[in-house]
Amino acid sequence: MAIAPSTYYAHRTRPVSATDWVDAHAANALLDLWRDNFGVYGIEKYWAAMRRGGHDIGRDQVARLIPKRWRELRRRPGRRYRPHLDRILI
């Protein structure tokens, strides 16, 4: 897909938006939290930890800011949730 040079340079000289700035700071805080907890938390626990740390952040925003590769790192191959048959039939 071709992009006009004028569009490219206009985008390049545009200042960073407030939303991108806030997202960058939240992503850095999440990265620090991820490193402190050895990358074993899920999205819900990261969200709760960010709220406890004083960050006003939503659960969906945490899910958007956490890269997919972080979520894949905590998966263990071969382990699946298999519900018991008696719990399903109740």
* Per-residue pLDDT band at 15 (split at 50, 70, 90): very high
Indicate whether 84 belongs to any domain: no
Indicate whether 54 belongs to any domain: yes
Indicate whether 72 belongs to any domain: yes
Instruction: Quote the number of domains for the chain.
Output: 1
Judge if pTM exceeds 0.75: no
Q: What is the pLDDT of residues 25-72, one digit of tens each?
A: 998 998 888 888 877 788 888 899 999 999 999 999 988 888 766 665
Query: How crowded is residue 50: how many other Cβ atoms within 10 Å of its Cβ?
Result: 21
Domain of 22, in residue numbers:
11-76
The pLDDT of residue 65: 87
The DSSP H or E segment spanning 83 is none
Q: What's the token pair of residue 49?
A: 């930890």
Indicate whether 51 belongs to any domain: yes
Q: From residue 64, how far is each of 26, 55, 71 by CA, in Å?
A: 11, 16, 11
* Of 36, 90, 37, 39, nearest in space to 66 by CA: 39
Rounded Cα distance between 7 and 56, Å, is 35
